[in-house]
Amino acid sequence: MRTASLIATGLLAATLSFTAALSGPRHLSAASQAGKIHTGGENGSYHSTFCPLLKKVLNNAYFSYSCETSQGSQDNIERVKQTPTDIGYAQLDVFALDRAKNSVSAPLTAIRDDLGRECLFMVSKDRSLMNFGQISARAHELKFILPPRASGHTATFEFLQKIDPEGLGLATQVSYAKTTSEAIRKALQAGKGTVALFVQFPDPENERFKLVGSLGGHFIPVIDRNILHQTVDGAKIYFAEETLVENPKLWKTGTKVVTSCTPLVLFTGNPDHMAPGRERVDQQDLISTVRAAPRTQLIPQKGTLKSLWLETKALSARSLTKLLEATDKARDMAAPSLVVMKEKTKEYTRKAVEAVKPAWEATKEKAKQWGEKAKPAAQAVKEEASELRQKAAPYLAGAKEKAKELGQKALPALEAAKEKAKELGQKAAPYVEKAKEKASEYGEKARPFWERTKQRAKEMSEQALKAAREAARKAKEAGQEMIAGDKKPGLEGGPNSQ
């Protein structure tokens, strides 16, 4: 009865184990290790709008992930590099800049880039700055206040500098604020010649867009032919779109700006960089799961962002051409002044060198005069040092002779000490031999006692072994008697057990 019950229990456990093995352990193992989705600020769209939707899709596929705040795109990229199984949101331009740095072996891979587009905006109180052509041409003299250095906004600015080295790349007066809103506020409070840049989903109800209007600033489109020509792996990075930046009011229509917009990209660690095994399989499964999810499950279907995407639209080819021509014209008009500025810089440099030259020559001549005046003093010091060496020579020679004399006097005493030691060694030799003989004698006397001790230990060992064998025999007989007793009628397992 007891044996049959154990067998049944074992079969049930084996059946359950086999069923669990067939039920897809891939998702179960993935869920056992919680991952992170790196977003942005707590009140930003990445964290508050997009991440909860992605988290739900992953949970439905048995992947356990949590939404984590960060400093934005650039910070997210660095975090996922540290933990490749994590996921991150980023602007495509920032992601492309990182890919360019790791073109040989990309540690990250894009999962999706069809979740919406964030747009580039520059703001200023300087009404002479109306398009990116003017910004680029005057970058060398303008001040730029950017969001935190580790943010995606700053990475976008650096990307624009890289692709426009003779324009925005010449900007040197660049500072960083603690937050994006602070950067906007400082730039607008500074007045003329100061610009801030930020990247965001166009939303007139957002505090940053409202801040621009309340401080009397205006939006500057960040767009030109060079920006729109940028690609990564053959895909465009920027798209020209008409965006609403200020809602209509009773007395005026809403304000729209045509600017460059870059897709929001969802990324994770490249599974090709992982060792073959469970982690790599789970990573591939994660990527497949998110790519297979309908786009509608990953983007908001109601609310402000949904309505704003309906307001945002791509520009027609004709309108875009006009806009780019205006930007080119502004850059061309500013180009002569830039050339003049460079020439003036060269002229000012030449004049500065010429102005300093007389003073430099005078300084050289003065140094030469001081050198000539110092020569007699240096010669006097040199002669005095030579005289002192000559005076000290006899004393040094006397010291050497005295040391030699003392050494010669010490030799007899040293030889006498050696002879005395030898003599004492010879006198001690007989006593050493006697000690050796005595030790040998004691050893011979002790030998019989040692032999008797070994013999006694052997006898005791044999007695102990014999006793152990006898005890084992009796235990065996007792066991056999117990077994024979269990088979008698009336005991458990017999015919009368009922």
For 238-288, how does the pLDDT look when each residue is reduced to its tens digit (9 = 90+)? 999 988 888 887 677 788 999 999 999 999 999 999 999 999 999 999 999
Is pLDDT above 50 for 10?
no
**Helix H or strand E segment including 293:** none
Q: Return the higher-pLDDT residue of 112 and 455.
A: 112
Helix (H) or strand (E) holding 419: helix 317-486
378 has pLDDT over 60: yes
Question: Would the pTM count as exceeding 0.75?
Answer: no
Cα dist. 13→4, 233, 447 in Å? 14, 53, 70
Do the Cβ atoms of 112 and 204 come closer than 8 Å?
no
Of the candidate ranges 91-95, 305-309, 452-456, the one whose mean pLDDT is the lowest: 305-309
What is the per-residue pLDDT for 469?
Answer: 82
CA–CA gap between residue 285 and residue 26 (Å, rounded): 8
Helical H segments across 293-316, by residue range? 304-311
Confidence of residue 417 (pLDDT cuts 50, 70, 90): confident
| Residue 493 confidence class, pLDDT cut points 50, 70, 90 | very low
**pLDDT band for position 13 (50/70/90)?**
very low
What's the burial of 155, exposed, middle or buried (CB within 10 Å: 0-12/13-18/19+)? buried
What mean pLDDT is predicted for residues 216-228? 93
Q: How many helices (H) and strands (E) does the chain have?
A: 14, 14
Give CA–CA dist 482/290, Å, rounded. Answer: 68
Amino acid at 483: I
Mean pLDDT of 37-44: 88
Whether the Cβ atoms of residue 143 and residue 173 lie closer than 8 Å to each other? yes
pLDDT at res. 176:
97
CATH topology for 117-263+304-315 is D-Maltodextrin-Binding Protein; domain 2 (3.40.190)
Say what the pLDDT of residue 33 is: 56
Burial pattern 40-51, b for ≥16 Cβ within 10 A else e, equals: bbeebbbbebbb
Please report the pLDDT score of residue 9 as a whole number.
Answer: 40
pLDDT for 386: 81
Query: How far is the CA of 273 from the CAs of 6, 63, 106, 472, 493, in angstroms?
Result: 48, 21, 9, 63, 64
Mean pLDDT in residue range 98-110? 78
pLDDT band, very low/low/confident/very high, at 400 (cuts 50, 70, 90): confident
Residue 145 has pLDDT above 90, yes or no: yes
Instruction: List Cβ<8 Å contacts ≥24 apart for 248-255.
Output: 254/204, 255/219
- pLDDT of res. 248: 82
User: What's the confidence (pLDDT) of residue 29?
Assistant: 47
Q: Write down the mean pLDDT value for the chain.
A: 80
Q: Is 10 left (phi over 0), alpha (psi -120 to 50) or beta?
A: alpha
Pairing of strands 218-221, 239-246: unpaired
> Would you say residue 459 has pLDDT above 90?
no
Q: How far apart are CA 178 and CA 49, in angstroms?
A: 23
pLDDT on residue 352: 67
Give the model's confidence band at 15: pLDDT under 50 very low, under 70 low, under 90 confident, else very high: very low
- The per-residue pLDDT for 331 is 61
pLDDT at 348: 65
Of 65-74, 130-139, 140-149, 467-476, the poorest mean pLDDT is in 467-476
pLDDT at 359 over 60: yes
Answer yes or no: is pLDDT of 16 > 50.
no
**Measured between alpha carbons, how far is 410 from 392 in angstroms, rounded to an integer?**
28
Query: pLDDT exceeding 90 applies to what percent of the chain?
Result: 39
Tell whether the model's pLDDT for residue 36 goes beyond 90.
Answer: yes
Q: Distances from the Cα of 172 to the Cαs of 143, 156, 333, 341, in angstroms?
A: 8, 16, 22, 15
pLDDT at 338 over 60: no
Task: Show me where the domains of the chain are located.
Answer: 117-263+304-315
Looking at residue 319, its pLDDT comes to: 57
Instruction: Please tell me the distance from the alpha carbon of residue 62 to that of residue 212, in angstroms, as a whole number.
Output: 44
**Highest mean pLDDT: which range of 209-218, 344-353, 354-363, 463-472:** 209-218
pLDDT band at 462 (very low <50, low <70, confident <90, very high): confident
Query: Residue 12: what pLDDT?
Result: 38
